[in-house]
Amino acid sequence: MTMWNPFCEAEIEVLWDVNDCPIPYGHLDTTDVKCNIIRALQSKGYHGLLTITAFGDLDLVGSDFNGFCIFPTGANDLSSRKMILLDFLSCSLSYGSKPKVVLLIVGDISRHKGFKRAIDVWNSNRLGVVLLAQPQKASQEVHDAVSTEWLWEKLATASQSPQRLYME
């Protein structure tokens, strides 16, 4: 039995750090990854308007980012994370009472207090749902703060169900 998802039609903002979470080697391109992300989101009941913003050194990825919002930050991981955090915070300010789903595709944020605080604010103000994809399993603290998490490579290649789903 599927529970009703109050965020099923909410806008979906994907913030993707291509430095920490590059397209897995093989026969994938950005179109394949986008389709796999959409498929995973839809399998969890999220069907809203999707925007994907890629941050990082897009030359290193060597793929076509047509249909994506692009924010080149170069190869500096810290710059990418700062810009993703700012974009995440701007989502909370710009949508007011309109619910939103945000999927953060980032490297390890377990020691990044800014992300943890931003997710806590997001959750405490009931702004929507925060989802997470990382190259490694999230720390327990980060794991407990997000609604669903994926391992990045598994999400990108469509070879894994989310590890957990929690909804109020």
* 36-85 tens-digit pLDDT: 999 999 998 999 999 998 888 867 665 676 677 777 776 666 778 888 88
Residue 25 pLDDT exceeds 90:
no
Query: Mind listing the pLDDT tens digit for each residue in 112-155?
Result: 888 888 888 888 877 788 889 988 877 777 777 788 888 899 99
**Distance of alpha carbon 13 from alpha carbon 53, whole angstroms:** 8
Yes or no: say if 65 and 28 are a contact pair by the CB < 8 Å rule: no
Residue 159 pLDDT exceeds 70:
yes
Higher pLDDT, 54 or 90: 54
Residue 15 pLDDT exceeds 90:
yes
Please give the distance of CA 110 from its chain centroid, rounded to a whole number.
Answer: 15
**Reported CATH class of domain 11-157:** alpha beta
pTM of the complete model: 0.84
Q: What per-residue confidence (pLDDT) applies to 152?
A: 92
**First-to-last C-alpha distance (Å) of the chain:** 16
Domain boundaries, the chain: 11-157
Long-range contact pairs involving 66-69 (C-beta distance under 8 Å, separation at least 24): 66/30, 67/34, 68/30, 68/34
Looking at residues 94-123, what average pLDDT do you find?
A: 82
